[in-house]
Structure 1
């Protein structure tokens, strides 16, 4: 360290304070990085790595970026998960004695971005704190670019709590998490693994931050309250700790007061519908699975919002559907009003186009980073608030009138900005041309002096041209020499004796006069004074506006809500959506329902609508059969989306709909291997299914697609059958269950709340046409070969498959695995017991339990099945050849059964 240059020692002293951050060290017009930071930044940013003398034998690695374009570089580094410490010059280098004082003014992390150029306009950028102790978890999150701050807690120690937190993290989608898992280390490890799958930057909290008294003190200081009870943090240390940890982290990284974060919003887990990560993904609420972006999602269809605030609120509404009948109804009524009031809707859109992002403007003011043009944007936005109020005041709609009561027109803020800030001010705070002359007498005086000085210079130039006869003479200015008279070489013989030579150039000479230097002193003195004065006055104006932060934020929420409701009406008008009825019972009845996204994506064909009937009684479970590509998955998803759209207050793509409020929507649609967790496709499917059965209630809506297909036919059918029975007998939730196990349709005859539906197709020779229509009944074929043909499988493969299928159907060629399939497919409900119950009780008999129960062992059970099968044969319609084939097959099955029985006895004796 003794050998280091003073500047490099200063750099390393600061770097020692921020070891986990890349230190951007301000040197003049550049931010420089040194040593390991330089090597990292050069690699990640793909910029040149150089070296600089640091006082030691080996030079220090160095790279740098211009200060005026630093945002682009910061964005790329933050996107990669790096933290960045911004070190600024704290004094004017020209006035510094010795090395310029420098200090870190801010640490930028993925969750603390405020630069609107680095943020998605219609997405929040959340930072989240997660704290745990023996009693449970506390969770708080904030978006410092908007000032939102939320908190909640999770008492309990079970896996349901763990899954709930995962669902919440998936919903919030924070860019960064700070955490402490004291007392919940095993849960913490699980959560950290989950965070990695979501690509969330996470870091632990220092232990010294976990003192409750210290946390409470930081909260009281930040929110300027006498006690935490006034914040609503009463007898809840989990929420208190999470909130305090979050505030402390912000203060340490942002190094300012952050007054725009001025209140805490508390929420519970049953205030809105909870959607787990699988459901959000499968229904493609905000991102499509195919494109990974907004296009192809429900958000893409519904987002007709005009303002950035409205776009963010729409996303939040989609993620948090309502469960309160009254609030849903009020939203639907407002959408109904807007849909019919075409003129008002169009006028409102025109007004909203002039509203800037009030939330982020307010945050920039609170952050002391708002420039003069930001204040003009705020003023122009406020100008249109009375226009919005005038458009809506005559509506008589209950929700709109409630919103208008909270719509603060902010007249005093508009008047302040209007009276003080020029209409087209400079961007920089130290460039002048910010404050109106009429706002301050001194500004007026200095501006007149400067203006008169410039006019004097113009008059001087004309005067000297006349006096000297030099027509090309110019009075000019630059920052180095100030004002001077420029004379070309061809006119040097005309230069008067009172001109004093200042500089010689190749093509001209520069002169000054005593009179010129005297006026220069007055002009430049006035300009320096006015720049300093305007800067001071601007800061005063900004500070006055900062006092009204909460008012602006409140109005921003109102404007955002109006924007979303108007957008719903616009979507309904353009896409022929209709107002759903909120059913007070338990039914979901949809007439001619459509999938909102799929119908928008179709180009060359019309979407075929379908009806839906569900309740918790005789229509609780719909078992849906039909070939692949027939539309089963689309149909089930559209029912879920129509329910969800209803509960966010949107009209729905249906001729009419009566929707009962569901507490949750669960989906089990498709699956893939989770290699990072060592889980197979089937394991993933069963894990998701277990989550559904453990968390759903009779008020839930279940979308289950081809359960059991990830394992053998025997196991898959058994599991699917048992799941349907569990839902039917115990859970009793409204369920759409698609399957290729046609045997499951037998449940429609044996369970009173199960109905069979099929997707119809039209056969034309060896080809099929998908009719996309769902009707009562069950399909008897899967049309797999025809679908394979449509998919482009080679003709020779299709022909071979047809031949094999024909042989199998005629019992000429039946592999052992298919014999098992035939056996299972013929299982029926015996003595009122399901397959699952029969197997459970058979298992008990095999273990010697309750021997008096009238149960069958497996072999006796199969023999009985064969007897029943023989009884069911229609001999009148059976040809001699069919009878011969049938007897041959029957004999083969009995022979196999006998061999298996003998093998089982030998194994038992061996044991």
Structure 2
């Protein structure tokens, strides 16, 4: 029953219409019920919010008495003010209504007096009220009819009696609309005078709305009350992503733990294959921290959240064509913003820094960024990467810890277990993920060949790049093996000799 009070007051302050005013009156009428619900509440915050709500019963009653239930949008065309609110307005409306009745009676009397049954009394914006006769009946028009317009099929006339009464009707209608508009302006001014109190009520109601939503979600989704502290420690047990776990048709969400502090768990380096859940995990930690600091329960079994001053993120890949910035440039600018503004009290979330350039450049940049965050800024950092070389940071920096996402291999297939465990991943499983994505089989097979070539070295003994070398298919290899024992049919097709 309560509409957006801030928006209604803002609209009425700059203009608005009678529907806005009607909505304001209905909303104010509902505020006493809100205060009654919070009466005697033990929670000091709710008591404070309740005290900030001002129902303004006099203004609500004034609007209810003045504005009709379904007012039109235009404010200068009448139909806004309720009957009984203003005596002069009621009289003018009665006069206008009587005028319409008089016009109907005048048309009937003229039809009877002239004997012309098709005679009509009509109105337009040019002539006002006029009498219209068909061309066939025009010759029967009385002498006092004054011709005003000739049409193809009709003649239009006016009479002194008709114009006299028209002036009364139109004058009453115009005066009534002018009075209605003046009354609307007076009501709008009354609302504006209470603008500060209405805005305070709107702010309190907004806070109640947020708290009610927090409470409902916490009960419905088994959220836990976090312990928010001044320490540098973030400890989450069985944390979940509040959005991903509610996605329709999704698999059962696998909860995970996290420990970040300013000491030995300062920078978490997370490795694992694509689609394993790295990005979801680092984002859920950031979301849980934000939820805790805005006063919400969090999707976890338990959580201890040391207050952070800011949450910095560098996730996703996007360019900015309008400004001529490539994906890599956007990534570097966002990373620069983090390095220039983060503090030891910040939480930093980085997802695959350096992937937009060559491998060596990317590794170098990612390594240097991680060192800077660890040594100079000392911010709590979650760093997801496919660069397995970065896991060596744990050997040289005491605050770096390696974690990876568990994966189970079954032949050429993989199963994502979504569990975060200590240690680094041994490989990225990129080819297996490509198979899941639907790449053609010949592309997958060729990718395997190239991967083996890369793992063996840069060049073959002949000087040819091993990357381009094709390996013999298994069928051909089996055939060559059989000919070693079948001397009657050697590989060259000639009979062998002992």
Q: Under a length normalisation based on structure 2, what TM-score does the superposition of the two structures give?
A: 0.79
Could you tell me which of 499, 524, 541 is aligned with 2:187?
541
Distance 1:696 1:580 in 2: 24
Structure 1 residues 716 and 449: CA distance shift in structure 2, 3 A: closer
Structure 1 residues 591 and 814: CA distance shift in structure 2, 3 A: farther
Distance 2:341 2:313 in 1: 12
Paired residue for 1:579? Answer: 225
Paired residue for 2:85? Answer: 439
Paired residue for 1:557? Answer: 203
Paired residue for 1:359? Answer: 6
1:445 Cα deviation from its structure 2 partner: 2.6
Deviations 1:377-432 (A, max 9, x none): 32223222223333333543332222221112122322333333333444333323
Paired residue for 2:51? Answer: 405
Gaps of at least 5 residues in structure 2 are 466-498
Distance 1:625 1:489 in 2: 93
1:373 Cα deviation from its structure 2 partner: 3.0
Deviations 1:352-397 (A, max 9, x none): 3xx1x33333233322x22333322322232222233333335433
SS of the counterpart of 2:243?
helix
**Do residues 629 (structure 1) and 275 (structure 2) align?**
yes
Structure 1 residues 794 and 419: CA distance shift in structure 2, 3 A: closer
**Do residues 694 (structure 1) and 334 (structure 2) align?**
no
SS of the counterpart of 1:769?
strand
SS of the counterpart of 2:276?
coil
Structure 1 residues 418 and 776: CA distance shift in structure 2, 3 A: same
**Do residues 390 (structure 1) and 22 (structure 2) align?**
no
Aligned pairs for 1:413-492 within 5 A: 413-464=59-110, 472-487=118-133
SS of the counterpart of 2:249?
coil
1:763 Cα deviation from its structure 2 partner: 0.8
Distance 2:108 2:40 in 1: 64
Structure 1 residues 706 and 449: CA distance shift in structure 2, 3 A: closer
Could you tell me which of 567, 572, 595 is aligned with 2:241?
595
Paired residue for 1:3? Answer: none
1:643 Cα deviation from its structure 2 partner: 1.0
Structure 1 residues 494 and 704: CA distance shift in structure 2, 3 A: closer
Paired residue for 1:619? Answer: 265
1:768 Cα deviation from its structure 2 partner: 1.4
1:645 Cα deviation from its structure 2 partner: 2.0
1:500 Cα deviation from its structure 2 partner: 5.8
Distance 1:569 1:421 in 2: 37
Deviations 1:190-224 (A, max 9, x none): xxxxxxxxxxxxxxxxxxxxxxxxxxxxxxxxxxx
Computed over aligned residues only, the root mean square deviation of the Cα atoms, in angstroms, reads 3.6
Aligned pairs for 1:333-372 within 5 A: 351-352=1-2, 355=3, 357-367=4-14, 369-372=15-18
1:759 Cα deviation from its structure 2 partner: 0.6
Structure 1 residues 457 and 686: CA distance shift in structure 2, 3 A: closer
Distance 1:724 1:581 in 2: 29
Could you tell me which of 626, 638, 645 is aligned with 2:291?
645
Could you tell me which of 404, 410, 416 is aligned with 1:758?
404
Structure 1 residues 677 and 433: CA distance shift in structure 2, 3 A: closer
Paired residue for 2:254? Answer: 608
Q: Under a length normalisation based on structure 1, what TM-score does the superposition of the two structures give?
A: 0.46
Deviations 1:759-779 (A, max 9, x none): 111111122122221112222
Structure 1 residues 622 and 814: CA distance shift in structure 2, 3 A: farther
For CA contacts below 8 A with separation 6 or more, give which structure has more relative contact order. 2
Distance 1:480 1:706 in 2: 74
**Do residues 768 (structure 1) and 433 (structure 2) align?**
no
1:737 Cα deviation from its structure 2 partner: 1.9
Distance 1:760 1:810 in 2: 27
SS of the counterpart of 1:596?
coil
| Maintained 8 Å contact 1:808/1:814 | no
Paired residue for 1:182? Answer: none
Deviations 1:78-117 (A, max 9, x none): xxxxxxxxxxxxxxxxxxxxxxxxxxxxxxxxxxxxxxxx
Distance 1:592 1:733 in 2: 23
Deviations 1:790-840 (A, max 9, x none): 334443343233334445556696799x9xxxxxxxxxxxxxxxxxxxxxx
Structure 1 residues 491 and 576: CA distance shift in structure 2, 3 A: farther
| Maintained 8 Å contact 1:375/1:417 | yes
Pick which of 778-787 and 757-766 moved more.
Answer: 778-787
Distance 2:330 2:130 in 1: 80
Paired residue for 2:470? Answer: none
Distance 2:411 2:307 in 1: 46
Paired residue for 1:76? Answer: none
Deviations 1:266-292 (A, max 9, x none): xxxxxxxxxxxxxxxxxxxxxxxxxxx
Structure 1 residues 804 and 409: CA distance shift in structure 2, 3 A: same
Structure 1 residues 686 and 424: CA distance shift in structure 2, 3 A: closer
Aligned pairs for 1:258-337 within 5 A: none
Distance 1:807 1:666 in 2: 40
Distance 2:160 2:361 in 1: 103
Deviations 1:857-898 (A, max 9, x none): xxxxxxxxxxxxxxxxxxxxxxxxxxxxxxxxxxxxxxxxxx
Distance 1:564 1:801 in 2: 52
Structure 1 residues 689 and 524: CA distance shift in structure 2, 3 A: closer
Distance 2:344 2:269 in 1: 17
Paired residue for 1:519? Answer: 165
Gaps of at least 5 residues in structure 1 are 1-350, 819-911
SS of the counterpart of 2:10?
helix
Structure 1 residues 432 and 802: CA distance shift in structure 2, 3 A: closer
Structure 1 residues 670 and 814: CA distance shift in structure 2, 3 A: farther
Aligned pairs for 1:704-723 within 5 A: 704-709=350-355, 716-717=362-363, 719-723=365-369
1:664 Cα deviation from its structure 2 partner: 1.2
Paired residue for 1:530? Answer: 176
**Aligned length, in residue pairs:** 464
Structure 1 residues 503 and 798: CA distance shift in structure 2, 3 A: closer
Structure 1 residues 753 and 448: CA distance shift in structure 2, 3 A: same
| Maintained 8 Å contact 1:371/1:429 | yes
Distance 1:676 1:541 in 2: 48
Distance 2:319 2:21 in 1: 52
Deviations 1:152-191 (A, max 9, x none): xxxxxxxxxxxxxxxxxxxxxxxxxxxxxxxxxxxxxxxx
